[in-house]
Every structure is written in structure tokens, then in C-alpha cells.
Amino acid sequence: MGSDFSSTIPFEDSRPPSPSPTVKEVDMLLPLQMPARKPRLLLVDDQVVHIQLLHHALGHDYQLFMASSGQQALKVCAAQHPDLIVLDLVMPDMDGFKVLHALKHNPATTDIPVIFVTGHEGEDIETRCLQAGAVDFITKPVNPSVVRARVKTHLTLKFQSDFLRDLAFMDGLTRVSNRRHFDERLSLEIGRAQRQLSPLSLVLLDVDFFKRYNDNYGHQAGDDCLRQIAATLKATLQRPTDLVARYGGEEFVCLLPDTGFDSAMRMAQKMLEAVRAQAITHDHSDVDRVVTVSLGVATKEPSPAVTRPNLLLALADTQLYRAKHMGRARVCGDRLAL
Ligand code: GH3
Ligand code: MG
Ligand code: MG
């Protein structure tokens, strides 16, 4: 089964966009969502002999991490972010229930599936395990084929639900975030900027003379162009907290946490140049022979003042309008008045 997890087939984007996938199509898509890396498992048991047994059953197909106490399990979890945990129920000091409780109450670990392993049998204990939030229950002595099969099933379910969640936040054409994801992140980041007194910037970007591009090169070429621009913007932004989203039509928006006005203006200029450097021919643009973009920057400077997301967006929009009005293929920006 190792090979099941070791390859992913690139997802081909075919136009025109189809309506929501059917159940059959989703079934066909989901098995492809296994990560290219080996899935990561955390094995927790206070008895070395049991860890060795599990290691023997699972070591070939997975990257394994081990812990011999509840406390250690929580530490390894925080450091290694396993995809699934096989957890002994009976341990001294901190038993499996306490570990599970701690995992479920931490947003960073609450989605990690946990399979309990115990020497106790019976409906009561099984019910308690499942009610506590475990996804499954295995009894000792552990049968290697059973543990392999259950681990594989629950990993598959985990990766499928991760994939569906990502899909709900992704723009189908360009594969960057969609408007919904952007709106959620913007509210979160505004709150964070207020609390931490850090700056926050937005860059709104619109393709110049894109209607003429479509009219002359066709809708398919227009779509390809949008995909290329999205990829370029993503490559230009390098901080993991930066977000590129398709705002709608031929407009994109970039969210830059912890970024002041001068840095945001520099980033916007870099994006302008990166898109131009793609050299996508556009013989019908009035500003250049290649596809260009206009950009509007808005910055919320560090302040505890409450800012509505729409205010920041409206300022970026006004600046984008100015950039268009001043001749396109340029950056305009302003700080939000507090
Ligand atoms: P400006 O420089 O003032 O921004 O002019 P423009 O032509 O880019 O702006 P306008 O708003 O007049 O036209 C935008 C065009 O973008 C119209 C529409 O055909 C095209 N467009 C919007 N969404 C998509 C898309 O998903 N795919 C393609 N191929 N084109 C799109
Ligand atoms: Mg537009
Ligand atoms: Mg446009």
C-alpha cells in the first residue's frame, strides 16, 4: 500500500468550467489527494514492546514518530504535526483520554484523527473512546493487518476531508484563494493587526484592457492569461502569511499582514514588473505590447482603532481607479486615515 500514498497525479484544469462535480466525479478525484510525501504517524504507548510491534506493522509505509507518555505525545504532536495518532489508552500519569481531550481542545491538533489501542475489551470502553472523539478502536494484542487497514482507511478519510475544505476556499480557474477565503482572512488579519499594533496592507490589481485581450485572442487565451498572472503573483509574494486571491473577473487581491505602506508599495511595484516580465503579447493594449496590470495599495498603519474591512477595500479600490485614470500599468496607494 506504500505506493498508494507515494504518488499524486497533477490535477488538470479543463475549461469551460463544469458545474459542481457529481458524486462519481468526486469519487474519482478524491483518491488522488494523497500527499506525495509519506503520511506521518505518531505512535504512543508506555510499553516499548507495543511500540516495536506497531513500528514493525507500519514502518514500511509511513514516517513514524514515537512517544512513551501522554506529555511526550503532546510535545511531539506540536513539533511534528502528524497526520494520524495511534494512542494507547492505559498509561501512567496521563492516560489516553486525557491526551485526546488536550488534542481536541487545541485548534492546531483538533483535526488529527486518533485511533485508540487498549487491552480492555467491551462495549462500554469502546463507546467511551468514540464519544471522546477517537475515530476508531483497536484491541491488544494488535493484529498487524488490522492496524494497517484501519490506519489506511482513516488517513484516506482525513486527506479527503482536507481536500474538500481546500476546494471550498479555492478559485476553480486560477487555483489561488477565492473571494470567500479572502474575506475570512481579511477579517481575521484586521483583528490581529489591531491587537498586535502591526500594519496591514492590501493590494488590489486589475488587468489592463482585458476585454480587448479576450475579444482578440479568445476566451480560452484570456483564461490562460489569468492563470499565468495568478501564478506570477503567488511566486512574487514570499511570506507564508501573504495571501493572493481572485477577487472576481480579472481582478486579484493580495493581503499582506505585518506590511507597512512603503513595503506594500514596493511589493506592488514588484508584481507590476513580474506580470510585465511574463511578456504575454497584447497588441491591442494602449499602454504596452504585452499584458500589464494596474494596482491600488491601501495600508492600515499600526493602531488600536477599529477598522471595517470594507474601508480598507474601498481605499484600495479608489487607488486602483486612480492608477487606471492616470494611464494604467502603474501603482497608486494611500494610508487609511484613522
Ligand atoms: P481596464 O483596463 O479599464 O481594466 O479595461 P478592461 O477591458 O480590462 O476592463 P473591463 O471591465 O471593461 O473588462 C473586463 C473583462 O474581463 C471583461 C471580461 O470579458 C473579462 N473577464 C472577466 N472574467 C473573466 C474570466 O474568467 N475569463 C476570461 N477569459 N475573461 C474574463
Ligand atoms: Mg475589472
Ligand atoms: Mg481590467
Q: pLDDT (tens digit, 9 = 90+) per residue, 301-311?
A: 999 888 899 99
Name the strands in the sheet holding 40-44, side by side, starting at the edge strand that comes first in the sequence. Answer: 63-67, 40-44, 84-88, 114-118, 136-139
Cα separation, 9 vs 77, whole angstroms: 29
Tell me yes or no: is domain 6-169 CATH 3.40.50.2300: yes
Q: What's the confidence (pLDDT) of residue 9?
A: 33
Give me ligand 2 centre to Cα 236, in Å. Answer: 21
* Domain at 179-335, CATH homologous superfamily: Reverse transcriptase/Diguanylate cyclase domain (3.30.70.270)
Choose the catalytic residue: 25, 126, 189, 250. 250
Q: What's the confidence (pLDDT) of residue 33?
A: 59
Ligand 1, atom 2, lies closest to the CA of: 208
Higher pLDDT, 88 or 238: 88
- Residues in CB range of 279: below 8 A, 6 or more apart: 290
pLDDT over threshold 50, residue 97:
yes
Domain boundaries, the chain: 6-169, 179-335
- Segment 137-146 shows an average pLDDT of 92
pLDDT over threshold 70, residue 13:
no
> Mean pLDDT lowest for which of 106-110, 225-229, 239-243, 278-282?
106-110
- Residues in CB range of 123: below 8 A, 6 or more apart: none
pLDDT over threshold 90, residue 264:
yes
- Strand pairing category for 200-207 and 293-300: antiparallel
pLDDT over threshold 60, residue 147:
yes
Give the residue, out of 176, 205, 210, 226, with the most ligand 1 atoms within 8 A of its beta carbon, to mutate for a pocket test. Answer: 210
Q: Which residues line ligand 1 (CB under 6 A)?
A: 173, 206-212, 214, 219, 222-223, 226, 249-250, 324, 328
Burial string for 164-197 (b: 16+ CB within 10 Å, else e) reads eeeeebbbebbebbbeebbbebbeebbeebbeee
Considering the entire predicted model, what is its pTM? 0.71
Please report the atom of ligand 1 found closest to the CA of residue 222: 29
Q: What's the confidence (pLDDT) of residue 103?
A: 95
Please report the atom of ligand 1 found closest to the CA of residue 208: 2
Q: What does pLDDT average to over the chain?
A: 89
Give the residue, out of 211, 288, 292, with the most ligand 1 atoms within 8 A of its beta carbon, to mutate for a pocket test. Answer: 211
Say which ligand is closest to the CA of 285.
1
Contact between 103 and 86 under an 8 Å Cβ cutoff? The reply is no
Contact between 1 and 38 under an 8 Å Cβ cutoff? The reply is no
Q: What's the confidence (pLDDT) of residue 5?
A: 35
Give me ligand 3 centre to Cα 333, in Å. Answer: 18
pLDDT digits (tens, 9 = 90+) for 54-83: 999 999 999 999 999 999 999 999 999 999
Give me ligand 1 centre to Cα 316, in Å. Answer: 19
Active site residue 189: no
Hey, what's the cell of 73?
Answer: 505525545
